[in-house]
Chain A
Amino acid sequence: GAGVSQSPSNKVTEKGKDVELRCDPISGHTALYWYRQSLGQGLEFLIYFQGNSAPDKSGLPSDRFSAERTGGSVSTLTIQRTQQEDSAVYLCASSPLAGGGETQYFGPGTRLLVL
């Protein structure tokens, strides 16, 4: 079946601009996660959503970062006033549930370059 999809695959923006990254999880998965992969910091958790519960935003690096999940499906990660240190690959993952040993399935990522 279809996996996690993300768009765009690549995004180049200028410092100070806002960007929106989109994630379509696997159909039926109630949990959705955002991670960031960068050379200096490795793979970092950003935020996750589980059904209608309040999201866990504990990994967001600053208030310039926000995310929403509409209708329990598609999610958008927004970065306002982008900085060069925001350059990274942003990975989305989904799992059937958030708890226990559920496997998180990852999308191909969005490669963001801030000039």
Chain B
Amino acid sequence: AQSVAQPEDQVNVAEGNPLTVKCTYSVSGNPYLFWYVQYPNRGLQFLLKYITGDNLVKGSYGFEAEFNKSQTSFHLKKPSALVSDSALYFCAVKGRGNAGNMLTFGGGTRLMVKP
């Protein structure tokens, strides 16, 4: 079975500082990994994904994530946080082959960026 862990319920960061939202996963074989963001009363908005190739993936709104196979991690990062980045962030994994086509999500991390 596949699973995702987001160890921090909330991350607080000052505007202009770098941010990191942590994600570790468990899946059989090589994973597909995704980050989504959710603003209040909205659906999930796709940020970025890792499929194969370069371990550093760049996505929307200046976000990036680094795939680390040995640590089974896919942490989300941004060099300089904005107040408007405050939202709920979800990491998700999908297995390959016969693992099924559904996404398995972590519990979410609330990012609070303070002015």
Contacts and interface: CB of A to CB of B under 8 A. Distances in A.
Interface of A: 4, 31, 33, 35, 42-43, 45, 48, 50, 56, 58-59, 91, 93, 98-101, 103-109
Most A CB within 10 A of own CB, among B32, B94, B101, B105: B101
A106 B36 contact: yes
Interface in B42-101: 42-46, 49, 51-52, 90, 92, 94, 96, 100-101
Interface residues of B, number: 25
A26 to B, nearest CB: 12
Interface in B4-63: 32, 34, 36, 41-46, 49, 51-52
Contacts of B52: 101
A91 B96 CA distance: 23
Contacts of B49: 101, 103
A99 B101 contact: yes
Given A42-B108, A43-B90, A108 B103 contact: no
B103 A104 contact: yes
Nearest to B107: A42
Most B CB within 10 A of own CB, among A42, A48, A58: A42
Contacts of A103: 34, 46, 49
A108 B42 contact: yes
A104 B34 CA distance: 10
Nearest to A45: B102
A30 to B, nearest CB: 11
A58 to B, nearest CB: 7
A35 to B, nearest CB: 8
A38 B80 CA distance: 31
Nearest to B102: A45
7 closest A-B pairs by CB: A101-B51, A45-B102, A43-B105, A106-B43, A106-B44, A98-B101, A101-B32
